[in-house]
Structure 1
Amino acid sequence: MRSLLSTVLIALVAVLTPLSALAVWADREIGDTDGYVAAMAPLATDPEVTNAVADRITNEVTARLASRMGGAGENDSGGAAGAAELRDLVHDAVLSFAATEAYRTAWDTVNQAAHTAVENALTSFDGRTASVDLAPVAEQLKAQLSRDGVPYADRIPVGDTRTVVLESERLGAARGVFDGLQHAGVALSLLTVLLAVAALLLAPRGLPELALALAVGGALLLAAVALTRQLTLGEPPMTLNRPAAGAAFDALTASLRLTAWALIGGGVLVATMTVRSRRKRLKSVEKGERENGMEGEEAEGEAQEVAS
């Protein structure tokens, strides 16, 4: 009976392990502004993201400048050449600015402002999309170009420069699950640990099975992350820059993937070492029994010789 109950608890641990990891992630990373900003900070140096930022700011700035200047006719080759030159200038300036500390600071400011929208898109039905307003980056770019003495840099228009980074309509019921996990937070992890301890107390020799259950939980977590990525980014609408959105998703779920691989590697390692240790002890015991048996036979033979 104790062994059966331990098996049931170990099976529960395998199921609850990925849910516990998701709960901590939803609470401490998605639900916490500082955690979210820290997770997104590495994207400041990601080529896909910086290119997407440069494209978006370039499109917005050139469109606003063209509107102010009255635009150039479609057949005006001089106007078209000037517009292309302006686009190249702004685009290169953004990419150059992306290598500065000021850009990284502006990037953190952008993500701090976008945190609530991303959280709502992932964990509730209040928001179908999450976007970031790149105006702080454009403002810093304008200031940087002005300091560098670029002509007319002070005239660069800066307005609402939003770009969509997440569209979550296809997540469906998963959003409700994320919301529930966010509310569960660390409590679900503590419950999982208690169930694991109870399983070992009921069947102390069940450590390999428990370790493998953790490995299975890690594999389920990896599968859940991959499925969510596909639902979020598969066949994206035109408003979504897939490479940049993919980089953002991967940055946001990096801790989940790290946890999953740690569970898989640690679980398999502990199970393997425990089984090998038990086999080694068993062989040692068998060897000792054989040696004791041989010694007994020798002693019996010596006694018979003395008696004769």
Structure 2
Amino acid sequence: MTSRVRDALSAALIALACLLVPFGALAAWAAYGLTDTGRYVTAMAPLAADPAVRDSVADAVAGEVDGPVRPLVRSLTRTRAFGTAWDAGNQAVHEAVLRAVRDGGHHEVTVDIAPIAARVEHRAVLPRTEVAVLPASALDRLRKGYDVLEVAGFWLPVTAAALAAAGITVAACRRRALTATALGTALGGALLGLAVAVGRHLTLTDLPDPVRRPAAGAVYDALTGTLRTVSWLLVAVGLTVALSCWLTGRYGSPRGRRGSAAPVPDPAQQPTRAQA
């Protein structure tokens, strides 16, 4: 295989690997981050102190159980025990949705908030404690996406790593291939960060109620915090590796050093002048 063919094949493999980087990171985040109840509850816990989230929770609960209890529910969200109830509620909702996604049924997902409300000080008697959290139609769409993520969350990152390794291996100049892979990884991280920002804008714009946008934005930021960190990490690691490869190639060999002395010719290889 000629050097030109090897470089062309290497470029194709590396380009495909770098293209899969943001998709692999996104799929892995959704498959292993959003579906983990403990991580989900931990990410959502700080939102218990967000005023917009508190008001949105009060409106949602009061709208489900009984409208006139809204002032009471809103006052309960200001108590210290609301943080405990918030964590318990997120855990109950997450576990209920996961259970419904995995059991294969077609039904509305509901959560009984009575045990959660019992943890709040100055508890009130609610006329109805079953709260709907996910309609049956949305559950079907979520189940299809969950099945895809279970496969993509593992295989996309593995495939990207394998393609990158193969591209570097077959390259005629492996340092140059490694530099290209590093720069492509950094670009993939930047695109991932851009996708998160665009997704936030589109999510908030599509909300029918502008009043709930601050709460929705806080929830979006909490859920995508890990994804933003991963995007910055990919950019930092990619640029660091690329810079290291460039410095190694420029200063690591005698040819790349400035001011290096010219090679001294071997006297044995010089032609002998004919004596007159």
The two structures share one fold, judged by TM-score above 0.5: yes
Please tell me whether residue 191 in structure 1 is matched to residue 150 in structure 2.
no
Q: Compared with structure 1, are the counterparts of its residues 256 and 178 closer, same or farther at alpha carbon in structure 2 (3 Å cutoff)?
A: farther
Q: Distance in 2 between matches of 1:210 and 1:48?
A: 43
Deviation at 1:227, TM superposition (A): 3.2
Amino acid at match of 2:160: T
Please tell me whether residue 40 in structure 1 is matched to residue 41 in structure 2.
no
Say what the alpha-carbon RMSD is for the aligned residues.
4.1
Instruction: State whether residues 65 and 126 of structure 2, in contact with CA within 8 Å, keep that contact through their aligned partners in structure 1.
Output: yes
Amino acid at match of 2:40: Y
Amino acid at match of 2:217: G
Q: Distance in 1 between matches of 2:243 and 2:28?
A: 28
Q: Compared with structure 1, are the counterparts of its residues 26 and 249 closer, same or farther at alpha carbon in structure 2 (3 Å cutoff)?
A: same
> Equivalent residue for 1:18?
22
Higher alpha-carbon Rg:
1
> Equivalent residue for 1:220?
191
Instruction: State whether residues 41 and 87 of structure 2, in contact with CA within 8 Å, keep that contact through their aligned partners in structure 1.
Output: yes
Q: Distance in 2 between matches of 1:38 and 1:6?
A: 42
Please tell me whether residue 108 in structure 1 is matched to residue 87 in structure 2.
yes
In terms of fraction of residues, the more helix-rich structure is 1
Q: Compared with structure 1, are the counterparts of its residues 222 and 199 closer, same or farther at alpha carbon in structure 2 (3 Å cutoff)?
A: same
With normalisation by structure 2, the TM-score equals 0.72
Deviation at 1:266, TM superposition (A): 1.4
> Equivalent residue for 1:231?
202
Deviation at 1:267, TM superposition (A): 0.8
Structure 2: stretches of 5+ with no match in the other structure: 268-276
Deviation at 1:286, TM superposition (A): 4.7
Deviates more, 1:197-206 or 1:218-227: 218-227
Deviates more, 1:53-62 or 1:216-225: 53-62
Structure 1: stretches of 5+ with no match in the other structure: 66-85, 146-153, 300-308
> Equivalent residue for 1:202?
170
Deviation at 1:32, TM superposition (A): 3.0
Amino acid at match of 1:229: R
Q: Compared with structure 1, are the counterparts of its residues 262 and 133 closer, same or farther at alpha carbon in structure 2 (3 Å cutoff)?
A: farther
SS where residue 113 of structure 1 aligns? Answer: helix
> Equivalent residue for 2:77?
94
Q: Distance in 2 between matches of 1:20 and 1:268?
A: 19
Instruction: State whether residues 18 and 160 of structure 2, in contact with CA within 8 Å, keep that contact through their aligned partners in structure 1.
Output: no
Q: Compared with structure 1, are the counterparts of its residues 18 and 158 closer, same or farther at alpha carbon in structure 2 (3 Å cutoff)?
A: farther
Q: Compared with structure 1, are the counterparts of its residues 55 and 63 closer, same or farther at alpha carbon in structure 2 (3 Å cutoff)?
A: closer
Deviation at 1:9, TM superposition (A): 0.9
Q: Compared with structure 1, are the counterparts of its residues 47 and 275 closer, same or farther at alpha carbon in structure 2 (3 Å cutoff)?
A: farther
Amino acid at match of 2:219: A
Q: Distance in 2 between matches of 1:279 and 1:224?
A: 35
Deviation at 1:264, TM superposition (A): 1.1
Instruction: State whether residues 217 and 263 of structure 1, in contact with CA within 8 Å, keep that contact through their aligned partners in structure 2.
Output: yes
